[in-house]
Amino acid sequence: MTTDTTHKVLSLSVVGMHCGACEKLVSMNASKIDGVVSVKADAQTGIVIVEVEHEVSTDDLIGAVIDAGFTPGDPFVMEEAEAAEGETAPAQDALRGASSPAEPVETPRAPASEEGAVSPSVPEPVPESDELEDTTFAVGGMTCASCVAVIEKTLAKTPGVSSSAVNLATERLATTFDPAIITDEKIAQIVANLGYTATPMEAAAPHSDTGKVTLVLTGMHCASCSGLIEKVLGKLDGVKSATVNLAMETGVVEFDPAIVGVDEIIGAVLGAGYGATVKVEATSGIGSGADLQRESQAKAYSAEKRMFFFSVAISIPLLLIAMIPPFMTEVPQRLAELLAATVGGAWAPMLLGKYLMFVLATVVQFTAGRRFYKGAWGALKQRTGNMDTLIAIGTSAAYFYSVAATFVPALEMEPVFYETSALLITFVLLGKLLEARAKGRTSDAIKALMGLAAKTARVVRGGEEIDVPVEQVVVGDVVVVRPGEKVPVDGKLVDGSSSVDESMLTGESIPVEKNAGDTVIGATINKLGSFRFRATKVGADTALAQIVKLVEDAQGSKAPVQRFADRISAVFVPFVISASLLTFLFWGFAGPAIFGANPDPNAAGLLFEPVLMSAATNGWWIAALLAGIAVVVIACPCALGLATPTAIMVGTGKGAQNGILIKSGDALESAYKISAIVFDKTGTLTHGKPEVTDIVLAEGHDVTRVFTFAAALERNSEHPLAEAVVNRAKSDGIEIPEVEGFSAIPGHGVEGTVMGMRVAFGNRKLMARENINIDAYEPEICRLEDEGKTVMLVGVNGAKLAGIVAVADTLKENSAEAVARLQSMGVETYMITGDNRRTAGAIARQTGLDDAHVLAEVLPENKAEEVAKLQAAGKVVAMVGDGINDTPALAQADVGIAMGAGTDVAMETGGIVLIKNDLRDVVTAIQLSRATMRKIRQNFVWALGYNTILIPIAMVGLLSQVPWVAGAAMAFSSVSVVTSSLLLRRFKPSMPELAKTAA
């Protein structure tokens, strides 16, 4: 680093950024500060790199971040470095990538450079390249929240891994990493070293508007043939590139699907005298990765089931020999007789019984119980504990004590507890099995969505209609859909018309009319007509695949409430082991002191009877050991770990079924706290398109005549108000005549000659200019204007008013109902708009909004500020909007709710997307969020209550005589939590029911 420094480069930590819009907001705000030279924000890493002149204060930067609606991290300034002009500072490297992939990269633990470019007091960030990769892994072998923590902690320390989030319920690990530093194989290896399996699913594929097809070519003999095909294809309009591989007999063609289709490309090759077909490739369509996971989960489930039955098959005879007369005497005796007769000598049945039990228990301990040792070892390597640790400790204590009592001559006459270790393992396996079955059902919604996809498509290839698997449909293909068939992929109608049932994706039960030029969505069902459409999105790009991915991502995300479980899990295992040791030592030392060396079981009441009986028959130390084992086994961190993610999975899945895409656990959790909702007016509360609402006729005129005049003058205008008039005329079947002498008068209106009469169409000023007296109509005009409508007057022959046409953006059918319902739920409702107060007030009155809650004349750039003001007043604010101008407000709000018909950027920014564009779904989303959070709280109460009650029960020795019952109780606990989450599937939105009632 040179000493000729002019600027500082700060690496700032910013919490809450989650998309490009967030990055822009932060960058824009920070750039406004004097002295800030450049800003680069990265939502993925949560790092903002700011190059500043020395006089810029940290407080200003914090202010900019807060103004943008985000939270400064702690520490805020992660790194500070001097930067000479033209040099790249280390902090910038964090986002730009410090070196080329081929070059060795320093790990975060590398010492700071000698020049002191990096402050030694702050951790060095991992140098990352621009190209961060997201990969999701299917993870096997996790049992509880501690497993989640082990994996997350390990990956957090792994150089190159920017973020990692493990979801116990979905058994998935979502990672963001720098491929220049680490690969997905390496990450899988790291996870495997912890004792779990990790299978990479799909990496996020870059999206492209360019169509690309690989053709299998036949008939080529030499390089000229390949050159010829390339030439022929190159001449086709819309083909961007064509590369033919002679050796492989394939050709890769990139083309513009809007101009040319696959059929034309194949036709061109055929025309040149060669054969061509589309190469079958494994496309990354719906669920290719998910299938992989399901396959691996099914395999794991089968293996677990086999292991359980194996364990049962061995545990039952073990139980009989250990505890059930006459088996406990007869079996060892018969064995002794057999050995005496065959081998000779004399055999002690009691010892033979011990040996027999040792063999059976050893098989269970180290085959069925191996997974617990493996998991416990993985956790131990990370200096933490998990459920496996507890099970391994509990079963090992029982097993190894029994081994000593079998083979150590001094202990030969002591009793053994082999059945305890084997039954514990069997019951825990049973619990895991039942839990896996229940967990599988939590993703039913996503499976149902995936099941909607069509399997085959009828495409036009070489002029013929052929059925192909849907994976073979490529962008640009012309697809034929007949009545009753599913639309296989997304596309645009080129020919024919029909009505299409889109209810499976939008929830809207009325079929939608489709004509040439309209878009169709894959997985929807064609009703009566036939049509052809050109595929525009296939595989992973279709709307259905995107919805599935969105829901899967949400199900894989971690809700903030999960932190509560994580905090408890962190101390849970050490606490339980301590409690177990304490129990053992207490009964071992204090037991005989309090109750005597040979206690009377009935001496201290029912509470202590089991431990006293155990001590009377086996001695105090064995009674203490059994009580300790019960404590360590009965504790259940699994239930805690499953409480949140299973409920989130069911909740988000239920949302998707109702046309509500909840994009993260965070959004689902925030929605239940909403105390105020701000609705954008245009396009959200209203249709966003002006319509003719009122017609006032002058004496002697009729509607047809008025609209004939008005529509004739406006027919060539693209102004929304003009469109409203023309549309009304067309819908009334009015023939619109030609206009002569047309002229537009800025600020007044338009005029011209229609059917031989001079007509003026515009505002009051135009009427005044035409000397038309409108005094008699003033009250009516004022009334309409007070209702927020735009009033247009039709004057004829410069003498008389023919009529008044009022146009307004009308309220959506369900807006008022949704607002009323939200108000009844105690949520304050606001409207925000750039319109004037009178128009806004009119809409507010129709919607049922309080005048005081109308935020009118707000410039688009100030919408976020208005939301922030409400937040500053202590409200948890949701913003509902659809446009680009709503994006900052959506980002600023605690929950951004985007309308499905809105702009992509709004949907990207919103935490919740309403596919049906029905505001009643805002109510449903909040109700679903409340139901989910209620379920999470119930799960926590259950999981914590279970541990709080049963650990003390085990500590007082109530299970000393049957310590394996602790295993059964533990299994029941986690199964019950998952089952409780499944009850959320009964959730039904209340709004449609209300609507029916109202009807």
Partner 1 sequence: MNRTILVVALAALGAASLMVTGCAGGTSAAEKPMGVWGYVASADNAKLEVADVQTGVNDLVVDSVLAPGDSWIVVHADENGKPGKRVGLQHVSKGESTAVKVALKNLTTSDVIVAVHADRGTPGKFDFDMMKKEMSPDRPYFVGGKELASVVAVR
Residues that bind partner 1 (CB under 8 A): 305, 308-309, 312, 315-316, 319-320, 323-326, 328-330, 333, 336-337, 339-341, 344-350, 413-416, 419, 423, 426, 430, 613, 617-618, 961-962, 965, 968
In the chain the first and final C-alpha atoms are separated, in Å, by 75
Of 134, 967, 224, the C-alpha closest to 632 is 967
Q: Residues 93, 541, 666, 680: which is the catalytic one?
A: 680
Q: Decide: 787 and 807 in contact? Cβ < 8 Å.
A: no
The identity of residue 879, as a single letter, is M
Phi-psi region of 344 (alpha: psi -120 to 50; beta: other; left: phi over 0): left
Q: Decide: 225 and 193 in contact? Cβ < 8 Å.
A: no
Of 454, 872, 463, 847, the C-alpha closest to 679 is 847
Annotation marks residue 680 as catalytic: yes
Q: Which residue number, 225 or 350, has a Cβ lying nearer to partner 1? A: 350
Of 550, 567, 832, 503, the C-alpha closest to 668 is 550
DSSP state for residue 589 in the 8-state scheme: I
- Write down the least CB distance from residue 296 to partner 1, Å: 19
Q: Which residue number, 298 or 516, has a Cβ lying nearer to partner 1? A: 298
Phi, psi of 975 (to 5 degrees): -65, -40
- Write down the least CB distance from residue 601 to partner 1, Å: 9
Q: Where do the DSSP E strands lie in 644-797?
A: 660-662, 676-680, 686-697, 739-745, 749-754, 757-762, 790-796
Q: CB within 8 A of 352, min separation 6: which ones?
A: 332, 335, 336, 339
Q: Decide: 966 and 630 in contact? Cβ < 8 Å.
A: yes
- Write down the least CB distance from residue 327 to partner 1, Å: 10
Which tokens belong to 615? 């001590």
Q: Which residue number, 337 or 993, has a Cβ lying nearer to partner 1? A: 337
- Write down the least CB distance from residue 641 to partner 1, Å: 25
Q: CB within 8 A of 703, min separation 6: which ones?
A: 695, 697, 732, 803
Cis, bond preceding 779 (omega within 30 deg of 0): no
CA gap 791, 769 in Å, rounded: 17
Of 934, 828, 823, 927, the C-alpha closest to 871 is 828
- Write down the least CB distance from residue 664 to partner 1, Å: 37
- Write down the least CB distance from residue 330 to partner 1, Å: 7
- Write down the least CB distance from residue 323 to partner 1, Å: 5
Q: Which residue number, 290 or 613, has a Cβ lying nearer to partner 1? A: 613
Q: Which residue number, 326 or 826, has a Cβ lying nearer to partner 1? A: 326
Q: Which residue number, 610 or 896, has a Cβ lying nearer to partner 1? A: 610
Q: What is the dihedral of CA 11, 17, 19, 21, to 10 degrees?
A: -90
The residues pairing with 203 across neighbouring beta strands, listed in sequence order, are 135
- Write down the least CB distance from residue 320 to partner 1, Å: 7
- Write down the least CB distance from residue 969 to partner 1, Å: 12
Angstrom distances, CA of residue 147 to CA of 134, 139, 164, 290, 640:
21, 11, 13, 22, 12
Q: CB within 8 A of 436, min separation 6: which ones?
A: 297, 300, 301, 304
Q: Which residue number, 627 or 968, has a Cβ lying nearer to partner 1? A: 968
Q: Which residue number, 413 or 998, has a Cβ lying nearer to partner 1? A: 413
Of 912, 864, 906, 908, the C-alpha closest to 887 is 906
Please report the sign of the dihedral spanned by the C-alpha atoms of residue 708, residue 709, residue 711, residue 713.
positive
Degrees, nearest 5: CA angle 260-264-268 = 125
CA gap 583, 586 in Å, rounded: 5
Which tokens belong to 753? 């000659």
Q: Which residue number, 416 or 520, has a Cβ lying nearer to partner 1? A: 416
Q: Where do the DSSP E strands lie in 417-517?
A: 456-461, 464-469, 478-481, 490-496, 498-501, 512-514
- Write down the least CB distance from residue 331 to partner 1, Å: 10
Q: Which residue number, 870 or 971, has a Cβ lying nearer to partner 1? A: 971
- Write down the least CB distance from residue 369 to partner 1, Å: 16
Show which residues are catalytic: 680
